[in-house]
Structure 1
Amino acid sequence: MSTTRPKFGVDLITFYNPSFWGLPDEAAIQELSDRDPDAIWRKILDSAAAAGITSLEVTFGPANVDSIRRAFGGAKEFKKELDGRGMELKSAFYLEGSWDPAADRGAIADSAAAYARFIKEAGGDVLVASPPMRTTWNAQPPQFNDFDFLKNVADIAHVVGHASLQEGVTTALHTEAHSSFCTARDVDLLMALTDPLFVSLCPDTGHLALSGGEPTHIVSRHRERVVISHWKDATGPAPLRVPIDETIHDTHREYFRRVGAGSIDWFSWGRLMREIGFTELALLELDAVADPVTEITAAREFIERSLAPVFP
């Protein structure tokens, strides 16, 4: 059992609120990234450091892999920048592949390998992938999240996992609310359908809570699969029978809270992480908050102070 003092990480979506940038909307943040990627990265890295963060998870734009290339020149140069700040890249969210059953598996493998190569060169070791979203419950024809559907998801996850592993990077599936991998039953079934040698687990406590699950109970059954986890709180379950479209992720935000400010039992979660020896990193996350430094600092301090008896 590890008793290493944890490092604290953050998923960069935390910094995507327009108010944080003094801009009118998210499109304006992307425009700033296109025009001046250095400005995006300076503010994010300075703010992460101010919140006591040393590990990063890169996600979609504006602070994505493309912006890293434009701001720093490439993965190795990005690693040098992080090294100079006492930081590291831990993981990156993979959005380039397709979960379509008819998708070219060779193209998926090539894409995943290239993305994993970038992660490795930048110092990271985890590729986080989110299985496809559900369709709205009353869609016609209905899409059932059944064995056949998830078997295809598992097959593509194996392609991604095999390709990333060749580059020294582990693929972990993320538990996204309203996706095909969000309820306790979804997690159990897709974990059963995937080979643990190639596919690992990235539980997101907030998304599991939104989906009506108790994160500790769900993850305890798959403890050997955890290679990274997203720590965020939630007010409680969100309705599952809602329209699932391009606005669903914005809808999630009203339910999310920083660690310690919602309904999740963090003491049981901390004990579980300690039991499985997963105490090296707590990756904090909130979706696009106006004051990320304050929120992430409060989450970190809650873990350090309140969870000290159960989480080293």
Structure 2
Amino acid sequence: MSAIRVGTAPDSWGVWYPDNPNQVPYTRFLDEVAAAGYQWIELGPYGYLPTNPSQLQDELEARGLRLSAGTVSERLHQPNSWDVVWSQVTDVAALTAALGGKHVVVLPEMWRDLFTGEELEPGELTGEQWSAKTEGADRLGKAMFEEYGVQLQYHPHADSHVDTEENIIRFLENTNPEYVNLCLDTGHVSYCGGDNLAIINRHPERIGYLHLKQVNPDVVAKVHTENLSFSEAVTLGAMTEPPLGVPEFPPLLEAVAKRGVDVFAIVEQDMFPCPPDAPLPIAQRTFKYLSGCSVAGLRFN
């Protein structure tokens, strides 16, 4: 039977940066992940967790944890961007592979400033830029796999060029499934007005990884009406713990389970900044909720 292995990520502890005074120390994050019941994590921003493979392995083993993936961003639609993107990817991919991880989640850089909402570049790509992004993603996925043995899982993001359901489908239909598949972030899809089930049903073979996230539709409506930045949206509680928001998880997990292949489903609840005592109780409740979902193949180890 195929498995959907559930884990969590630094993002659910309010971690957005390698080092920030508003974030909990990495040791507390790891301790609380284990206390909540999870066994799988992601690296989060490179440098938050130890970058020495031996040290990180010791930290994980001491708590019964394992690594599912690393995370990095891309801007491959921009001219002469390959070297900068690849230099970031190599660090993340090498550390991920050294810890036994098989995936690197790649996010498009945002076209709006995360905090102010200021437009940094046009929100729509030209045809030439779309080709540069999709061809660059294929090249990146091929290089990552050949050099590090990790698979590229592409993560759509709000206020980026791969955000809406339409843009996600366009991206998938112009990339090579041998090298590029989708990290379906259920929250970002819903935040951008998309239908997660429709994406799964249209391209089930491309769902290679999941980020489980729910949004509060009332907050999201306010964000869009007032044209607020993504950071403001998070501060207002746009991302909420299940089962309080949308989309519903069981139907999505059941649709993915029908694929018959193993995937990770990593819980992410965007919170930054957040009180240091807030994440653990949320993580415990979320673990309990997911443990009660009757979905074939859902596993926590």
TM-score normalized by structure 2? 0.82
Match of 2:269 among 283, 286, 292: 286
Match of 1:298 among 267, 280, 285: 285
Closer/same/farther in 2, CA of residues 159 and 264 from structure 1, 3 Å limit:
same
Matches within 5 A, 1:30-69: 30-31=20-21, 40-60=25-45, 64-65=46-47, 67-69=49-51
SS across alignment from 1:119:
helix
* Residue 99 (str. 1) matches residue 105 (str. 2): no
Counterpart for residue 8 of structure 1? 6
Residues 27-52 of structure 1: CA deviation (Å, up to 9, x unaligned): 9x62598xxxxx82221111101111
Percent identity of the aligned residues? Answer: 20
Superposition deviation, residue 227 in structure 1: 2.1
SS across alignment from 1:187:
helix
Closer/same/farther in 2, CA of residues 199 and 243 from structure 1, 3 Å limit:
same
Query: How many pairs does the alignment contain?
Result: 286
Contact 1:175 1:202 in 2 (8 A): yes
> 2:12 is matched by which residue type in structure 1?
T
Query: Hey, what's the Cα distance between the residues in 2 that align with 1:55 and 1:181?
Result: 27
Counterpart for residue 261 of structure 1? 244
Counterpart for residue 156 of structure 1? 136
Closer/same/farther in 2, CA of residues 116 and 141 from structure 1, 3 Å limit:
closer
Contact 1:109 1:163 in 2 (8 A): no
Counterpart for residue 257 of structure 2? 274
Counterpart for residue 124 of structure 2? 144
Query: Hey, what's the Cα distance between the residues in 1 that align with 2:176 and 2:262?
Result: 24
Counterpart for residue 294 of structure 2? 308
SS across alignment from 1:298:
helix
> 1:154 is matched by which residue type in structure 2?
T
Residues 225-272 of structure 1: CA deviation (Å, up to 9, x unaligned): 22221101112254558658xx52342452111121113122321211
Give 1 or 2: higher strand fraction.
2
Closer/same/farther in 2, CA of residues 161 and 282 from structure 1, 3 Å limit:
same
Counterpart for residue 65 of structure 2? 87
Query: Hey, what's the Cα distance between the residues in 1 that align with 2:120 and 2:224?
Result: 17
Contact 1:134 1:178 in 2 (8 A): yes
Unmatched segments (≥5 aa) in structure 1: 18-25, 34-38
Counterpart for residue 197 of structure 1? 178
Residues 200-233 of structure 1: CA deviation (Å, up to 9, x unaligned): 1101101111000121212222221222211011
Counterpart for residue 230 of structure 2? 248
Cα RMSD (Å) of the superposition? 3.1
Superposition deviation, residue 156 in structure 1: 2.1
Residues 153-188 of structure 1: CA deviation (Å, up to 9, x unaligned): 112212321221121001111121121111110111
TM-score normalized by structure 1? 0.80
Contact 2:184 2:207 in 1 (8 A): yes
> 1:220 is matched by which residue type in structure 2?
N
Counterpart for residue 130 of structure 1? 107
Query: Hey, what's the Cα distance between the residues in 1 that align with 2:119 and 2:280?
Result: 40
Query: Hey, what's the Cα distance between the residues in 1 that align with 2:57 and 2:94?
Result: 13
Contact 1:112 1:163 in 2 (8 A): no
Unmatched segments (≥5 aa) in structure 2: none
Give 1 or 2: higher helix fraction.
1
> 2:252 is matched by which residue type in structure 1?
W
